[in-house]
């Protein structure tokens, strides 16, 4: 593992072409995320939060610099290697839960584990443990349409950590919830991160939740700065 942290961005650049113009989103971004740490990413819409998360999570390739995960330089790896790292070492949570509607909460959490190679019993036991930990074990057999918004997000968080990743990347995970439900879901997320030793980078517009994390960073002129 990199001595500095689990996830390290070194001089990361990300650009998009818009007609004849080049749009610079990340311009030499530097960042270190350590095990057991929760960091809030707070920035205005359009500043590049999603691009940062997608690049850190190996969904997009950096145009310059590198993304180092657990001591391994990942920016120039092939598609198969990047996919394997995402599957094994990175968990994603989004504003919308993206649960599979035809499957129960338990089955949704089992899916990534089965892909990972666990047996049905192992995946089921692990999924049930996570549901109980998130305080929604009694909803295990309910489909997403039968769950409240807060319950759906807690299932999505449990699914994201089902394969015990090193890093959790969350893009407005409570942005679709009312303030009381958002706080309750964040309580569950925080407890899970602290208990497991995950390294979590969480983009949020909710300044109350951001204040509860270990530190806060923002994006300005394509660079990551603390505040």
Task: Report the distance separating Cα 138 and Cα 3, nearest Å.
Answer: 41
- What does R_g of the chain's alpha carbons equal in angstroms? 17
| Domain containing residue 166 | 7-226
Structural domain contains residue 100 = yes
Average pLDDT across the chain, whole number? 91
Please count the residues of the chain. Answer: 227
Total domain count, the chain: 1
Q: What's the pLDDT at 135?
A: 87
Region 190-197: what's the mean pLDDT? Answer: 87
Residue 2 covered by a domain: no
Average pLDDT (36-54) is 92
Q: Which helix (H) or strand (E) holds 176?
A: none
Residue 1 forms part of a structural domain: no
158 is a domain residue: yes
Residue 193 or residue 216, greater confidence: 216
b/e per residue, 184-196, with b = 16+ CB within 10 A? bbbebbbebbeeb
DSSP conformation class of 76 = T
Q: The domain spanning residue 134 has which CATH number?
A: 3.40.50.300
Instruction: Let me know if residue 148 belongs to a domain.
Output: yes
pTM given for the model: 0.90
Angle ∠(12,6,109) on CA atoms, nearest 5: 105
């Amino acid at each position: 593992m990199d001595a500095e942290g689990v996830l390290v961005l070194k001089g990361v650049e990300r650009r998009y072409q818009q007609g004849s113009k080049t749009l610079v989103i990340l311009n030499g971004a530097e960042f270190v995320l350590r095990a057991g740490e929760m960091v809030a990413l707070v920035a205005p819409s359009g500043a590049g939060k999603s691009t940062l998360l997608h690049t850190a999570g190996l969904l997009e390739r950096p145009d310059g610099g590198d993304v180092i995960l657990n001591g391994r330089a990942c920016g120039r790896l092939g598609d198969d290697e990047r996919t394997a790292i995402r599957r094994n070492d990175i968990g994603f949570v989004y504003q919308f839960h993206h649960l599979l509607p035809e499957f129960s909460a338990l089955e949704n959490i089992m899916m990534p584990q089965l892909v990972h190679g666990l047996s049905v019993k192992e995946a089921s036991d692990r999924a049930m443990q996570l549901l109980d930990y998130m305080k929604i074990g009694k909803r295990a057999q309910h489909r997403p349409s039968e769950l409240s918004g807060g319950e759906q997000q807690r299932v999505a968080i449990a699914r994201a950590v089902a394969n015990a990743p090193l890093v959790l990347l969350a893009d407005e995970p409570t942005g679709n919830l009312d303030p009381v439900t958002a706080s309750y879901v964040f309580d569950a997320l925080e407890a899970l991160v602290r208990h497991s030793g995950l390294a979590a980078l969480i983009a949020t517009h909710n300044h109350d939740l951001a204040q509860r994390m270990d530190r806060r960073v923002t994006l300005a002129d394509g660079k990551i700065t603390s505040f």
